[in-house]
Amino acid sequence: MTATTTLTARALLLDMDSTLVNSEAVVERCWRRWAAEQGLDAAEVLAVVHGRQGWATMAALLPDRPMERNMADNRRMLAQETADMDGVEPVPGAPAFMAALAGLPHALVTSADIALSDARMGAAGLPMPEVRITAESVGASKPDPEGFLKGAAELGFAPEDCLVFEDSEAGIEAGRAAGMRVIGVGDRAAAFAPTAQVRDLTQVRVEARADGVLAVHLTP
């Protein structure tokens, strides 16, 4: 990105982990423990965990494992993650970005559950959007588009009027499958062909126009 790029939308749909909140250290600690318990290579596990609900990652890694065990491990891991806020902080630019969205149509669409999203947004000092789609809200994990489609519906906008902010392959695929444009956040996102990509949220400025259009300016 060599010059300012502007995308327009009527609503923004925001992933949480590694998009608004840097929780990478906690995620790595929890999944390394799980990988060791299962006798799996931690690097291979960490390569696929981002963006999905935990049970979906487990099912992808261990396809013959009973889903009841995945769901039990998922509940245990969510409890561990919710209790561990060491190193959780806002992604650079996230506080100003969220402040700029106050009163504008936006929603959180996360694979975390209510308790974990409360804990991480709180630890990062970020306001919780009035509309929030969590693990409890959906029957399918990203890369399924259900979460983003529900977020758009709750805000009252068509999918094509929404702009997604995401960091992971699963999340970017979910946004595209929902018929939405996607701004990739962070270096990991660049590999998955988002509509546009930024290093972090310091490169994003949101302008609310009089006609209700949100102009999202992406600067180098």
How many Å apart are CA 167 and CA 129, to the nearest integer? 19
Strand arrangement of the beta sheet that strand 214-218 belongs to: 5-9, 214-218, 204-208
Task: Give the relative orientation of helices 67-83 and 114-123 as an angle to the nearest 10 degrees.
Answer: 30
Q: Is 144 a catalytic residue?
A: no
3-state secondary structure of 218: strand
Residue 184, helix vs strand vs coil: strand
CA distances from 50 to 74, 83, 159, 185 (A): 14, 19, 23, 13
**Cβ atoms of 177 and 144 closer than 8 Å:** yes
Are 126 and 21 a contacting pair, CB within 8 Å? yes
- Side chain identity at 177, as an amino acid letter? A
C-alpha 144/C-alpha 111 separation (Å) is: 11
Q: Residue 85 contacts by C-beta under 8 Å, 6 or more apart in sequence?
A: 26, 119, 120, 123
**211 given a catalytic annotation:** no
Provide the annotated active-site residues: 15, 17
